[in-house]
Amino acid sequence: MNLMLFGAPGAGKGTQAKYLIEKFNIPQISTGDMLRAAITNGTAMGMEAKSYMDAGKLVPDSTIIGIIKERLGQADCKKGFILDGFPRTLAQAEALEELMKNMGISLDKVISLNVPDELIVGRITGRRVCSKCGASFHVEFNPSKVADICDYCGGELIIRKDDNAETVKSRLEAYHAQTAPLIAYYTDMGVMVELDGTKDVNEVTQDMFALLK
């Protein structure tokens, strides 16, 4: 199954991806996680991406398309995958279509998690992420079982550098200007399904699984 999780920053894509991994045993492909790994490893690509990410702007398409091309070619993607946070521009969506066409595969579903802007700031400022595996928690809405420790791997939970009220504003602007037009793109393609992302984490998961039956 080739899936995509779509939505504004903080809509819950990473959170729901974890449940899809468990259920379908397919990898999550998060461009944000891959960029953060590149920054941690001090690669040239990571250094270039960092300034955009810290400012809440999108990283250039050529960089993103390059990492996706390499990732989708890896063996574990053969049984399917969950795209999380990619594509974010029309150029990325078109590059993905071309790439998948060449691989002889197609998208089964694009799952949009709909959350209004007013709720996004609270989600992002309360987010805590695992420094080891990237799993996402929330101090109030989705706390880890033990404070500051990841439920999945025991790693330390941290606050992402870009998870602050100022950066959220530019990330939401980028989302509306550059990413939201993809809703029409995938609706026209006939693969778009929309979910109410304002419900509790578990309810969203149940709604999502119902769609995938």
User: In the stretch 75-94, what mask flags binding to ligand ADP with x, by CB under 6 A?
Assistant: ----------xxxx---x--
Of residues 48 and 151, the one with the C-beta less far from Zn ion: 151
130 sits near Zn ion (criterion: CB under 5 A)? yes
User: Which residue shows structure tokens 């998961």?
Assistant: 205
- Restricting to residues 120-149, which ones interact with ligand ADP according to CB under 6 A? 123, 126-127, 136-138, 141-142
Per the annotation, the verdict on 36 as an active-site residue is: no
Q: Does 177 bind Zn ion (CB under 5 A)?
A: no
- As a whole number of angstroms, the distance between CA 39 and CA 134 comes to 14
**In whole angstroms, how far apart are CA 185 and each of 97, 108, 155?**
11, 14, 38
Contacting range for Zn ion; rule: CB under 5 A; set: 17-25, 65-73, 124-132, 176-184 = 124-132
Neighbours of 27 (CB within 10 A): 17
- Contacts for 123 with CB less than 8 Å, ≥ 6 apart: 10, 11, 12, 115, 138, 141
Residue 150 binding Zn ion, by CB under 5 A: yes
**Catalytic residue ranges:** 13, 88, 127, 160, 171
